[in-house]
Amino acid sequence: MKKGTKYPVEPLSRSEVERLLQACSRGATGTRNRALIGILWRSGLRVSEALALRPCDLETNSLRILHGKGDVARVVGLDTVARALLDLWLAERKALGLSAKAELFCTLRGEPVKTAYVRALMKRLAAAVGIAKRVHPHGLRHTHAFELVNEGVPMNIIGGQLGHAHVATTERYVKHLHPTAVIDVISSRV
């Protein structure tokens, strides 16, 4: 891959993301990694936003992003799938005696997890489960947006979740993901 080259977005299917989750190790690190992947996938966060979260930013059904893109704060929804994965990691954090001041997704010693680690993790997991697509943290953000569009969620709600200031930004963001509607219409022609 050439640096600066733009590649087409390849949203993952639900089964592909589930395979990534299953490929995580069974120990504490795997529990953390599953929770992190779950948050990236089910909340559409940027990797930097997820890694900056603190336990105090977590509510029952939401996450508080203090420093999103452009240093803009927002609150995003947290669904039951992501919450269940996160609860397992929170129990593990407690058992490890990690400080509440440490980032939500920290190492087992309470140190910050680096974005490079997450990028390498995603590639390694994809290779382990045989996913041929480019798998990277930002791709889970696109997967989240793609799923919401396919579920019929209004653009303004998707934009709020992703932290877009304008609906036009969200429309451009999701337009190129996968032309599902176009494919459905054209393939059903007689």
Question: Structure tokens of 179?
Answer: 């032309």
Is 6 a domain residue? no
Q: Please report where in the chains the tokens 């490929």 appear, as a residue.
A: 23
Per the model's pLDDT, the better-predicted residue between 106 and 176 turns out to be 106
161: CATH = 1.10.443.10
- More confident of the two residues 31 and 70: 31
Q: What amino acid positions are annotated as catalytic residues?
A: 46, 69, 138, 141, 164, 173
- Give the tens place of pLDDT for each residue, 4-45: 677 777 889 999 999 999 999 999 999 999 999 999 999 999
Residue 82 placed within a domain: yes
166 in a structural domain: yes
Is 66 inside any structural domain? yes
* This prediction's pTM: 0.89
- For residue 143, being part of any structural domain is answered with yes
**Which stretches of 53-173 are assigned E, i.e. beta strand?**
62-65, 74-77
pLDDT value at position 135?
95
The dihedrals phi and psi of 74, each to the nearest 5 degrees, come to -160, 170
Q: CA-to-CA distance for 32 and 105, rounded, in angstroms? A: 7
* Full residue range of the structural domain in which residue 172 is found: 14-187
* Residue 7 maps to a domain: no
Enter the tokens of residue 126.
């994809």
- Mean pLDDT over 63-76 rounds to 86
Indicate the number of domains in the chain.
1
Q: Does 4 fall in a domain?
A: no
Structure tokens at 36: 């992190």
Q: pLDDT value at position 96?
A: 96
